[in-house]
Structure 1
């Protein structure tokens, strides 16, 4: 049986750093929401399906005009991003094979390119191991004390900035997140859970324009990136 590729988009977060009242994934860029841009980028891959983990009170997501609506699934998200991802993995366990591949991608990363997505999938499938998009750190890093005083410069050699998507086998990722949560490990991305169980994870070099919309001014940057990619 041919292994399939599924996507998970945790989209239940409140995004408090963006705004106390407005969700960043539902801001508009070029007449589409950020979430529509994000999901439609993922749909450039040959997905078996895409699971959106949304808030319990979210009545908006299902009204959006996603491409390949027939491949879209919904589940209720959790308190934190990691709980949303786990809920989606549990949902997938009923409809997917445990050896199927899963891509987890941030709802607020609408600028990931089709080429980067293809590179990531090819890398995982060919090596048969988990992988993430990332870029080498290029700026000088400072370790700063509580009073905003620089303590030292941190070597950026061997340092990479993690992005998404992050890709793993369904059973592996589900086990990793459950084990890390049980041990109360701080799980900031899927790779951190995989690292906890000793799973090998490789980096696949992405692009610096695969930005995550975190603050309000990031929205304008994403708008410019999407415009430049379209042109």
Structure 2
């Protein structure tokens, strides 16, 4: 893509929050360390991110994690590790604080879920090109397809919600290091609920754009998602 040559004068980092317990997946097993095609989910995820010209990537891991630093990640020389936090947003902020010691506030940072191993390379490139070309924060997302219902506490349908302007957010989400760090710090200080990086940026009034992703960029949440991710990865490999 023509605008990516500007990366020669820019630095791009990736943050992967990988400290969560994933209780919806299992009470005892971490989803990022489940095996698909002889690799952990986390290894697949890092492999996809390294299709970009990363300066480095930071994994925010749990204090008791004795697995991540032993994995044979692609471009292992670019790997950095920091301790994660109680919630995803705390892990991301810890990684941003780590990066602030070795990176510039205007460096670009991609934040990507550890359990999204199927993100397409063309979507990664499209997101990066859009952000750099337009000098804006951006996220991958897809338009909501299904009919949405607003339901009360008794499971009674109250109304059908228009999906015309609704998009389902995905990751990666990209912003400049200094802005994202400030946004998350401000939101946490004000006790605002942060569910993704875009919500923190929205809170401080920063512009965030949507770049159309793909429906196969799934997040592994439940055990049955592992088989779906395996099928997606196999299909993507065949199409290369």
Shorter-chain TM band: over 0.9
Per-residue Cα deviation, 1:38-81 (whole angstroms, up to 9, x for no partner): 01100000000000000011010011111100000000000000
Are 2:73 and 1:46 aligned? no
Q: Which of 84, 88, 91 is 2:91 aligned to?
A: 84
Aligned counterparts of 1:17 and 1:188: Cα–Cα separation in 2: 16
> 1:152 maps to what in 2?
159
Query: Runs of 4 or more off by more than 2 Å in structure 1?
Result: none
Q: Which residue of 1 aligns with 2:3?
A: none
CA RMSD of aligned residues (A): 0.7
Gaps of at least 5 residues in structure 2 are 1-7
> What is the match of residue 68 of structure 1?
75
Confirm or deny that 1:182 pairs with 2:189.
Answer: yes
C-alpha displacement of 1:123: 0.3
**What corresponds to 1:221 in structure 2?**
228
Match for residue 31 of structure 2? 24
Output aligned runs, 1:7-22, within 5 Å: 7-22=14-29
The CA deviation string for residues 95-152 of structure 1, in whole angstroms up to 9 with x for no partner, is: 1111000000000000001100000000000000000000000110011111111111
1:105 match: 112
Equivalences, count = 231
Is 1:212 the counterpart of 2:205 in the alignment? no
* Structure 2 Cα separation of the partners of residues 125 and 194 of structure 1: 17
In structure 1, list runs of 5 or more residues that go unmatched. Answer: none
Question: TM-score scaled to structure 1, two decimals?
Answer: 0.99
1-side partners of 2:171 and 2:143: how far apart? 14
Aligned to 1:137: 144
Distance 1:3 1:226 in 2: 31
1:170-217: CA deviations, max 9, x gaps? 000000000000011010000000000000000000000000001111
1:219, 1:184 → 2: CA distance?
Answer: 34
C-alpha separation in 2, matches of 1:63 and 1:171: 31
Using the size of structure 2 for normalisation, the TM-score is 0.95
- Residue 40 of structure 2 aligns with which residue? 33
Partner Cα separation in structure 2 for residue 184 and residue 131 of structure 1: 24
Q: Map of 1:186-201 to 2, 5 A cutoff? A: 186-201=193-208
Distance 2:60 2:40 in 1: 16
Distance 2:39 2:159 in 1: 44
**Partner residue, 2:5:** none
2-structure distance, mates of 1:105, 1:152: 34
